[in-house]
Amino acid sequence: MDAPPIPAVQTFGLTRMYGHIAALSGLDLVVNKGDLFGFIGSNGAGKTTTLRILATFLAPSAGTAQILGHDVLRDADAVRHVIGYMPDFFGVYKDMEVTEYLDFFGACYKIPTAQREKTVNDVLELVGLIEKRGALIGALSRGMQQRLGLARVLIHDPQLLLLDEPASGLDPRARIEMMAILQELQRLGKTIIISSHILSELQTLCNRVAIIEKGRLIYSGPVQGVRDQMSQGRVVWVRVSSDQAQAVELLKVRPEITEVGTSDGEIKVTLASQDTDHSIVADILVRGGARLIELREDEIGLEEVFMRVTRGETQ
């Protein structure tokens, strides 16, 4: 029997105290290889503390974590070779040229001189900065500097990227460009953990998410799973061109439906189970003689989920 694959990240009771305040309390988290994993939490919830521990910059007060099978405490050097960590605020040398900056970090990772020029060009191509290779960093826009920061953490071809608020402070176009780069990196086989407050973008970007509040894990799993967990049954909105009251009566008597109401000319239908196919609503109405002109499912968004499962409690 084959052994189960080693997770990209696994934490075991990860705890970090600052005096009497717990920034993290017994965090057990699993991130699989190839995940584009969204790490969600209010300011002070423990996201940055977690990422700094995973990046070996901060020691836990208790518990530990493994990165691709390497312990962050006992095998810190091995961990640093397989990760790329981009903090929420990082310094850039504004008087250096883009290629000079990346060449410097390539040397830090002991990439041979003959290989560094190609490596630098490859990462610049990947983040869409090849045309800025000779520019001074100080002349780059905020969005371009963020992409340069991403190029820096890619220089040694890490398997796992730890990105703390990579879209922070970016305008909408720059955010979209950053998210497109992350999707491409996932397609190339990278595992990515991204913390962010831009929940609407994480909703479509990530395949799995974790919600952390006051240092404790509230949810970890598929994006759809957290929506299903928080929905009190699926909600379907219906519009008919025939008598609305008649349509409401047709729906009210069915056991598959728990609630029927009206709002702004539409009928709001709450299904009894997440497993009930919403096409049953159309079937009931058409068989009952109603003329259906619109039916759409109301999907709870990640922002609404976050507001429901957290109470805004931070350190």
51 to 87, 92, 154, 292: CA distances (angstroms): 9, 20, 17, 51
Rounded to the nearest integer, the mean pLDDT of the chain is: 87
Q: What is the pLDDT of residues 40-54, one digit of tens each?
A: 887 788 999 999 999
Domain positions in the chain are 9-228, 232-299
- The dotted CATH code for 232-299 is 3.30.70.100
Give the separation between CA 16 and CA 58, rounded to whole angstroms: 9
Q: What is the pLDDT of residue 221?
A: 86
For the ranges 30-44, 73-87, 275-289, which has the lowest average pLDDT?
A: 275-289
304 to 83, 115, 230, 300: CA distances (angstroms): 32, 48, 9, 7
Give the separation between CA 180 and CA 202, rounded to whole angstroms: 12
User: pLDDT grade, residue 150 (50/70/90)?
Assistant: very high
User: pLDDT grade, residue 89 (50/70/90)?
Assistant: confident
Backbone angles phi, psi at 117, to 5 degrees: -60, -45
Give the class (CATH, top level) of 9-228: alpha beta
Give the separation between CA 313 and CA 16, rounded to whole angstroms: 17
